[in-house]
Structure formats: structure tokens, C-alpha cells
Amino acid sequence: MTIAESDFPIDNGMSCVPISPEEEKRIVKDLIKQSELNLKDGNLYFIISNRWFSSWQRYVGHSDGILSTDQQSSDGLHADTVHLKITDRPGPIDNSDIISNGSNCGGSDLDIHRTLVEDKDYVLVPQQVWERLLGWYKGGPALPRKLISQGVGPKQYSIEVYPLCLKVTDARDNSVSIVKLSKKATVSELYELVCKVKGVEQHKARISDYFNLNKPSLLTASDQTLEDANMTMDQDILLEVSVDTDRSSHSGVHSMGNELALVPLEPPRSSVSIAGGPALSNGHSSGSGFNFYQGSSVSSSLTTMDDKYDVYSGERGGLAGLQNLGNTCFMNSALQCLVHTPPLAEFFLEDYSDEINMENPLGMRGELALAFGDLLRKLWSSGRTAVAPRAFKGKLARFAPQFSGYNQHDSQELLAFLLDGLHEDLNRVKQKPYIEMKDSDGRPDEEVANECWKNHMARNDSLIVDECQGQYKSTLVCPECGKISITFDPFMYLSLPLPSTVTRTMTITVFYSDGSGLPMPYTVTVLKHGCCRDLCQALSTACCLKSDEILLLAEVYEHKIYRYLDTPLESLTSIKDEEHIVAYRLKSGARKTKLEILHRYLDSGKGGERKIFGTPLVTYLEEDPQCGANIEPYVHRMLAPLRKAHSSTKSHEGKETGFISGGSDEQSSICNSHSEPRNPALCTREQEGTSCGESSFQLVLTNEGCFSCEPIDKASVIKPSAHIKVFVDWTEKEYELYDASYLSDLPEVHKTGFTVKKTRQEAISLFSCLEAFLTEEPLGPDDMWYCPQCKEHRQATKKLDLWKLPEILVFHLKRFSYSRYLKNKLDTFVNFPIHNLDLTKYVKSQDGPSYVYNLYAISNHYGGLGGGHYTAYAKLIDDNKWYHFDDSHVSPVSEGEIKSSAAYVLFYQRVGSDVQMEEATS
């Protein structure tokens, strides 16, 4: 018996029966879950091109449980629709688009392009998933990578997508070879691999750290990892070989038997690298990432200052650059800002050994502070010679594995880690007491603030606290019981949103439910995470709502009311930009029966079928309706503003002449679209005997789902109900009398295309960013507050106020926004003061000093998300000149050039005296 050919693959892992796409998806999901439960060093993962993997995901149906890639549909609701349309089974696995050196080498030797971004260009799957996909689809080639653990303390796992590449310079002939191995490999394993590649007996080899082709430092075969030995991507190492074992104890022996001296080597690469090669999103720089100089040698004066430093007696300090070690411009930018922070520089240039806290369990045994202090001293003592921060990066990778490797990271995230790490390593408190925080309970703010700061200082006392920590007041209000909770918390920096990231513009069409005016669209600005109450307040101001009126919000979909937004605290995130929202102006007070009016017309092309069109009208009946005669006046009153103006002469009969603004004839005075609301009884008399009553709409009573139709006239009995829906059937006669266009073409809540072009070049001030930060806003659904009075989690409103500001004030401009399907960077120009930034009026503490600040450093970010390039502007401590720090390159810059849309983190120092203020002003 033979099995007929099938579109489904054979499941080689379980049986010989073809399986469906749904079964493939289930198997892969289960294998991924199993691998996540068994994480350990050495587990294999495989790289797969996202181009192929996306086609496979479409074939089996998108699922968040498999892998979530950027190529997926941004609308999860339509995932099933996509699956129905795209069901072609993908061909063999094809990784050719991500491989950089062809497919001639063995699998373990294959490299992928260094510019690739995970989840955009490639995905990583466990070994079991790869084997199953390979069995189903064949293809390849295989690109295995190992799982490694990083950091001290709790293990953090990562997949080493890019193994460490080292350039071996053979001292015998100056040839250069490439070896690749894990940064977790030991120096002994490096010896073994190099000797195997070069065909050298291991006991005759001597390998040295030849970083920057300078200062060879012997690497002793040991269990020390290459990461701990500060090996970096594309770094040079030097191989020296002795002729015989008898002389192997010498420093190095030439193949002819002569003792070797180090040979000055001409660098095999470009001698110019300003920014360490291009900054890449999830790879490494395409070049070596360092500056090279012609004729460099061991005795060259262009020392890297990597292992030790000497006090530089010639040129002034503080003008040294930092070499890019492979996408480390984010680190260099942050470091230059910190080493040019006056209190930090003064502290670390003196003897600070007594301040190191090696016992703090929250610190890093003082190692981070020592590494930072050592680097700062090198930068201030090396003149203009660029410093390679290898030792510091090694410590950083050890204590903060998220910054290890050679991917681009966020300079602000690094700054936050460094400030906190330096604080803990310099904490003067050896034993932190346990302190139970008390609620404010209506006590004066000054008392509560002083108590909170005293408790904070009892556990945290360091240079960082002295200079960089402030205090803000946080007020939470429960939306249910009104409980107010006030706390005073310390801060190290202020993350300011750009106004466009916390607000949104919304266009809402307002309808008059008393027939006193035409519908009018209004565009208002509200908080993104605000609630319907905020939207109603903004609309009330825009449309000049009267004191005796309220607004009822509703979403219109397919010419019906899809939902009423009548819950004041409902989040505005439930309203999408493409939706159509209307607001009905209603009289406030007791409301009994809601009347909803829908419009229909006769479609002659479909056998007399009636179709719904336009926008529903909503009002409240002043009393319970008893018959159709009680409803009809409300319908005519609400449609009155739509009546067209007609000439009394026959020649103009039926022709639209515009809306009436006033006239001498009776029709004009009666049908004035801008007249005051009329009495329903008066409208009834008008319809019986005046020209305004020429139209006689057919009213049809329907149910909640609009499925039933029951024609009603003046004598029809209407059952009492809280919600009555009626159809108004339009005829040609009504189209001549009324302008139905005002009921159609509702604007969307937000049109993205126009706003981007309009606001992209608009500048905002630092003060507007600060005010957006201090604006009251509701907490998000994922950040609920536990109300001690309600004993439940509530979506409380939160208000921040500045209570006390530090000597060094750091502003982080939140240019990056992330969501599941969208990543964005705002290049909005923020206009920030360089001198005399006065924040006194924003500080709530009454007895504090004046808070006036001068700018002294900026961390800049150029380019897009995941990549781009970081630089820094900084001012030297003892003069008033600005300098541009672009990795190794340092150049003077005028004060007028430092303001740009690239400004990302701003560093200010408080002006301490009137003399300083006068100097800054001059």
C-alpha cells in the first residue's frame, strides 16, 4: 500500500503520516515551551532567515505563542483572514539572504551579516525546532549558535549570535588569520585553536594581547575567559613561535633561532575611523572599530592607556576621546557626560578609596566604582590621546549583561545603571536599617517630605545622593472612594515626555439634540491615557457648552450607534484613530426615555430594499411617549437645521439657495436654522398648516438590533421604554427640502497623514516637556494602584510635583516609543536653555533655595531605532568652552551649535551664587 502525495509534510519526528499546518504549529509551540524550561549553557539555537520563517508563519497561521516578528500583521483581529488568503506551503528553508560569506564553508564557519536585527532579519529557534523544520522542509544551511550565561549572581542567558572574531598576527611573516570562538571560551582554548589553525605545537607558542597593534601583553594559558581578558570583536592578538623547546622560556624566538623583537606592523585596514565604523542595529561595526596610525610600534607615543596611566604634564586634561570597541558609542557618550560632571570629576581625581563600600549586597563590591574612577583618571591625564575603555566594558558586561556584546544600546539606560551602581558602591551606609513607610494621613506636606527624606538617607548616603538625587511628590486619587495617597520619592533623573507622545488630537462631531444648530466637527487635544471625562471636558470648552447641557459620546459604525461611551472613566485607548465618534448636546437633568433616530432611503436598484445612511440623531424625551404624535415633533425639531432655503417664486422652487440667516417672509422666519429651540407643540401646529410642515416623514419603530419594522403614525401606541429606536424613511420630497449631506461624511477621530507633515518641524520648549511630565493623568490598565480603603486595585489618577531638586539635574527626553507592533523615534526639536534655567516656580517646597541651572553636557542620538549613533557635547570644568566628543574624535564647538534635534539627555548644574549667575550670563 502506498500513500498518495500530499501537500502536507511527513512528520519524521513522530510518524510517517502527513500532518496539517495546524499540527505543525502545535508541535513547534510545544517544543519551544520545553526548551524554555531547560535553559543551560551550551544549548544550541539555530538562526533562520525571517523571510522564510514569516512565510511559514503565514502558512500555519499567525500565533503569538510561536515567535512574534515585526513582519506579522499589525491587526491581530485579521490574523485568521490572512491565513485564509495565504495558504501556500513554503519551499525549503533558505538562509542565503542573511549569510555574509557564501555557503562554501562548513556550517559552523558560516557568518551572517553584522547589520542584521533579530525578529526583523532573522529569528532564533531551539535545536529541536530546527531539526523538526529541517525534517519537514529540508534546505538550510544550518547556522547553529550557543546559549551562554552572563553576569554575576542570578544567571542571565543570551544566545551568542556573533562569536568573537580575533585577528591573529603571526610574528614570523606578519600574516593575519581570523579565528572565531565564544567569548566564554578560555585562554587555553584560544591557544589550542590558534595552534591548530597555524600548525604550531602549543608548547612553542606564545600569544599576546595585541590590542590596537600596541603594547603586547602576554596571555597565559589558563581558565580565564576571553571576556574576562577584555578581548573585543575584531581585536588583534600576536603569535610568536620558538624554534625548539630549550629556548621556549625566552620572550620569543625567530624561526632562524634568533631572539624575536616585535616587528612594527603596517595595519591591514584603513587608518581612519572617526566613529568606530557605522553604528549598527544588532550587529557590530563593519570595520575594526579603532583608530590606527601609520608606523605604530611598541614604543609609539600613541599609547592606549589601557593597562595603566601616567599623569599627563603637557596638554590639559579632559579632552581625550574614547575608542569605539564595536557599537559602544552609546557607552562613550554617557561616559563623557559623567566624567565632565564637576562633582564626580573632583571626587574621583582625589583619593576616594575610603568611600568604597565592598560589603553592600546591592552594590558590585566596589568594582564598578573603581573601574569608573580608573577610566576617569585616564581620560583626565592622557591629554588628547584616545582611551580604550576595555577594562570598564569588561566590568560592565559582568555586572550588567544587558550591555554586553556589541549591539547598540540606549545611553540613558546605561546612565541610569551607572548612577545607581556608583551610588551603591559608594554608599556610606554599611548596614541598612528596616524602615516601614507611613501614609501621609492628612499631615502637612513639609512634615511628610522631611520624614521620607530622612528615612531615605538612613539607607542611602553617597556622593550620588548628595549631588544627583532630588525628591518629588506623588499624589494618587482613587476614582471610586476618593482616597488620596501622598508619598515623597527620590529621583536620580527626570524622564520628560515630549508633548506629542502623551497627548493625541481627536476630531469629534457635535450634534444639537434640540435642533438649535448644525452639526459641527471639533478637534481637541487630550491625554493619550485619559478617559472619556477628559474628552467631554475638552469638547465642552471647544463648543461652548452651556451650564445646563451635557455631552453624550457615541461611536457610529455603519450608520448605527455601535456603542455609547457613557462611562466617564472609560479609557480613551479604547477609541481608535479610524473610528467615527459623535457627541450629542443634551439638556441636563432627569432623563427618562432615550430616542434614537436612524435614517433610511429606498434603493431602487435592489428591488425596493431600504438602506440605512447618515448619522443617527439622539435626544431624550421630556415625558414618556404614549403615541406616535409625541415622537414626531422631536424628529422634525432635530431635522429643522437641515432645511434648505427656497425662494417663494416658482422659478426657484426646489433649488437650494443655502441656509437661511434671516428673511422677511414667513417661511424664512419659521425655518431659520439658527433660531432658538422651539416648543414641540408649536412644531406640531407648523406641520399641520405651514410650509414648514410640507414634509411628512414615515416613522418606523424598530427594536434594539434593528431587525423588526413597525410603521407608526400619530395614533400609534408606543410602549414605555428606556430606549426607543425609530427609522425615518426619506423620499425624494425630503431630499429636496433637507440637506442630508450634514448627516454623512463623518470625519475620523484622527487622520495620521496630515498631522505628521504639519507637526514634524514644530519646535517645543523644555518647559512644555516638564509640564507634560507634571500633568495629572490616569494610571494605565497594567499599572493599577491598590487602594488601601477600597481594598482593591484601582485605575487611579496620578499627579507628580517637584519638591526638591539636586545640584546636578539630568533631563531625559523620551524620544523613543515602543509598542507591540510599532517602534518610533521622535526627532522633534526641543528648545532648551543653556544658561539660567529657572525652575523655582515648579518646585512646591516653600522654604527651598532658588533653582537656577546652567547646562554643561548633552548626550546626542542621531539616526533611527536600534541603531544610529551617539555623541556628546561637554564643557570643561575650568573654562567656558564646549567640545564635541565623537568616540575617539574630539573637536571644539561653538555654544550656538550644541542645540539640535538630536539632544537626548541634558545635564545641568545648579548655579550656587550670584557671582556664578553673573558669569554665566556674561
Counting DSSP H helices and E strands in the chain, the numbers are 21, 39
Q: Is 869 annotated as catalytic? A: yes
Q: What are the residues facing 217 on neighbouring strands?
A: 209
Using CA atoms, how far apart are residues 800 and 773, in angstroms rounded to an integer? 8
H or E element that contains 710: strand 710-712
Cα→Cα distances 29→33, 36, 77, Å = 6, 11, 21
Among the listed residues 284, 580, 599, 869, the single catalytic one is 869
Using CA atoms, how far apart are residues 764 and 814, in angstroms rounded to an integer? 13
Using CA atoms, how far apart are residues 463 and 346, in angstroms rounded to an integer? 11
Residue with cell 568573537: 164
Using CA atoms, how far apart are residues 497 and 502, in angstroms rounded to an integer? 7
Q: Are 879 and 834 in contact (CB under 8 A)?
A: no
Cα→Cα distances 473→18, 520, 778, 794, Å = 64, 41, 16, 20
Q: Are 25 and 53 in contact (CB under 8 A)?
A: no
Using CA atoms, how far apart are residues 857 and 410, in angstroms rounded to an integer? 17
8-state DSSP, 78: G
Among the listed residues 62, 195, 329, 580, the single catalytic one is 329
8-state DSSP, 738: B
Q: Are 533 and 569 in contact (CB under 8 A)?
A: yes
Residue with cell 544566545: 159
Concatenate the DSSP letters of all residues of 593-636 into one string: EEEEEEEEEEEGGGTTEEEEEEEEEEEEESS---BHHHHHHHHH
Using CA atoms, how far apart are residues 669 and 557, in angstroms rounded to an integer? 36
What is the gyration radius of the CA atoms in the chain, in angstroms? 36
Using CA atoms, how far apart are residues 432 and 811, in angstroms rounded to an integer? 29
Contacts of 494 (CB under 8 A, 6+ apart): 770, 773, 809, 810, 811, 812
Backbone angles phi, psi at 380, to 5 degrees: -90, -5
Instruction: Quickly count: other Cβ atoms within 10 Å of residue 758's Cβ.
Output: 9
Cα→Cα distances 419→333, 406, 469, 808, 845, Å = 14, 22, 10, 12, 25
Backbone angles phi, psi at 200, to 5 degrees: -120, 140
Q: Is 627 annotated as catalytic? A: no
Per-residue cell: 419: 548612577
* DSSP H helical ranges for 760-878: 766-773
Q: Is 140 left (phi over 0), alpha (psi -120 to 50) or beta?
A: left
Using CA atoms, how far apart are residues 371 and 381, in angstroms rounded to an integer? 15
Nearest Cα neighbor of 498 from 885, 811, 819 is 811
Q: Is the dihedral of CA 121, 124, 129, 132 positive or negative?
A: positive
Per-residue cell: 724: 426607543
Q: Are 718 and 630 in contact (CB under 8 A)?
A: yes
Concatenate the DSSP letters of all residues of 105-169 into one string: S-GGG--B-TT--BTTTEEEEEHHHHHHHHHHH-EE---EEEEEEESSSS-EEEE-SSPEEEEEE
Nearest Cα neighbor of 148 from 140, 139, 157 is 157
Q: Which residues are catalytic?
A: 329, 869
